Amino acid sequence: MRFASFLRAGCVLAASLAPLACSTAEAPAPNNAPGAGFENPEQTSMRAPVRLSLERGAEYAATGEADLLVHIDVAEPLGYPVSIDATPPGGARLAAGAPSETLRLDRAGRLTRVYRVAGANALRPEAPFRVVVQGRTPDNSMGFYAKKQYPPEPEITVPPRTRHVPGGRPPGFTPPR
């Protein structure tokens, strides 16, 4: 399935929102047909229904504003309502883009939202711009909660090994238990 029709649908849905609330982005071209793929001995994970990615867009030096692009990649049609909420940290504010919106993600593809943030230079990993997209079936038996922040959290880095076990591991001794 390709994305063009979905992208149009996404923008129509957002037509009533601020001008910056919807834009299109170059869509990836996955083969989203159910069951698509080749013979494959690896058992890969069931794909998350939705994935978010954030990227920093245009900068507006005169106003100190910057655009943050939120890409919503939908792996499969979702038959339940979905909401998106964008929250700037203290010291920053949304100059454009709806902070909350209800989405219909009933087609696979990519939807993009653009938020113009005033005070974007103040964004830090501990004071980030946050986006949450979530939805669930009425009985709550299925659902998702997708969150992303900009800048991203730093990953844990395990300190280098300072100790070494003789031989790298214990002997193959199974003790009495």
Partner 1 sequence: MLLLAFGACKVEEANNDDDDGGSGGRSGNGGSSGNAGSGGGAALDCGDVPASGRCIDNGTAIEYCRTPPPNDQGRQGPPTTVRVDCLAGVESCRELADGTAACELDQAAGVVCRPGDTLCEGDTLRACSADGKAFEETDCAADGQSCRTPPQQPAQCVAFSSAGGNAPRLSGAVKFERRGMSETGPTGITVDAAWLDFVAIYNGDKYIGSDVTDADGKFDAELTEPANEDTTVYVFAMDFDATTQQPLVAVVRNDDPGITTQTSTDYWFWSNKDYQGTNGQGTITVDGDNATMSEFVIPERDGAGALRVFQWIRYGMLRLDDPAGLTGSNGLESTKGKPQQTVAVFWSPGVDSVCGACFLGKQGGGALVKPKDTTTEDHYDTLMQISGSNGSPTHWSYSVLSHETGHWTMANYSRSPGEGGQHFVGQASKPGLAWSEGWATAFGQWNSSDTFGGEYDPVYFDTQDGTTFWVNIATAAYTGGALQKPDPAGGIDQFINENVVSSMVWHLWHPEQARFSAAPGGTDAGTYAGAGDDAMFRAVQSDRILRDQYNRGYFKVDLVDFYDAVTCGGGASDGNVGDVSADVGFPWDSDPTCP
Number of other CB atoms surrounding residue 56 within 10 Å:
15
Compute the least distance from the CB of residue 29 to partner 1, in Å.
7
Is the four-CA dihedral 58, 19, 146, 110 of positive or negative sign?
A: negative
Compute the least distance from the CB of residue 129 to partner 1, in Å.
14
**Residue with smaller CB distance to partner 1, 30 or 89:** 30
Number of other CB atoms surrounding residue 45 within 10 Å:
5
**Residue with smaller CB distance to partner 1, 38 or 61:** 38
Query: Are 149 and 128 in contact, with CB atoms under 8 Å apart?
Result: yes
Compute the least distance from the CB of residue 19 to partner 1, in Å.
27
Q: What residues line the site for partner 1 (CB under 8 A)? A: 28-32, 34-53, 73, 75-80, 136-148, 152-153, 155-159, 161-177
**Residue with smaller CB distance to partner 1, 16 or 140:** 140
Query: Are 113 and 167 in contact, with CB atoms under 8 Å apart?
Result: no
